[in-house]
Amino acid sequence: MLIFLEVLKKANGKLVRLSIRLTFFTILPKIYCMKKIFAFLLMFLTITPFMNAQTNNSATPKSLRHVVLLKFKDASTPAEIKKVEDAFRALPSKIKEISDFEWGTNNSPENINQGFTHSFLVSFKSEEDRAIYLPHTAHTAFVEVLKPHLDKVLVIDYWADK
């Protein structure tokens, strides 16, 4: 068996064609060595993305999520509920420890929300930030706006994994 390789190489600014002819017997020992190199490269290329993923995850700051689900009293009017929404939405401008804020109303077709209609997601960079938020005067003022209209509340906090 004969193997013929042609390689273009740049030498002194000019392309030079190198031709190599090898017989099967002259490259057999090299093939065994190449198998080892190939196996090592394959292993290295397979493991490297996972190592990078772990490095990236540890470098990515996690967020502490504070989820608040609200069920309003049946007697609460849309205008009163809007007042509560506006008061909650104003908190990020009043409390600098809030790193992110989202909210919305239920639109699930599953109909298993148990009467909870509003969801608020407040994010913090640390537990210390949350500890400042909870007794903050702006938060306690919001709670006073909420109380007359609140039927039920569900709150869970968790560290977000991505």
What ranges do the domains of the chain cover? 2-59, 64-159
Cα–Cα distance between 75 and 58 in angstroms, integer?
48
- Helix or strand or coil: residue 117? coil
Average pLDDT of the chain to the nearest whole number: 82
Residue 122 and residue 66 in contact, taking contact as beta carbons nearer than 8 Å: yes
Question: According to the model, what pLDDT value does residue 142 have?
Answer: 98
The predicted-structure confidence for 36-86, as pLDDT tens digits, reads as follows 665 655 565 666 555 545 444 556 678 999 999 999 999 999 999 999 999
Instruction: Give 67: exposed, middle or buried? Use CB within 10 Å, 0-12, 13-18, 19+.
Output: middle
For the chain, give the longest Cα–Cα distance.
Answer: 92
pLDDT at res. 15: 62
What CATH number should be reported for the domain whose range is 64-159? 3.30.70.100
The answer on pLDDT for 111 being more than 80 is yes
What pLDDT, on the 0 to 100 scale, is given for residue 61?
78
List Cα–Cα distances, 49 to 9, 16, 38, in angstroms: 32, 37, 18
Residue 141 CB partners (closer than 8 Å, separation 6+): 87
Per-residue model confidence (pLDDT) at position 55: 47
8: part of which helix (H) or strand (E)? strand 2-11
Distances (CA, A) of 63 to 29, 54, 104, 124, 134: 56, 17, 19, 6, 16
DSSP string, 28-52: HHHHHHHHHHHHHHHHHHHHHHHHH
Question: Which residues on adjacent β-strands are paired with residue 122?
Answer: 66, 101
pTM of the predicted protein model: 0.63
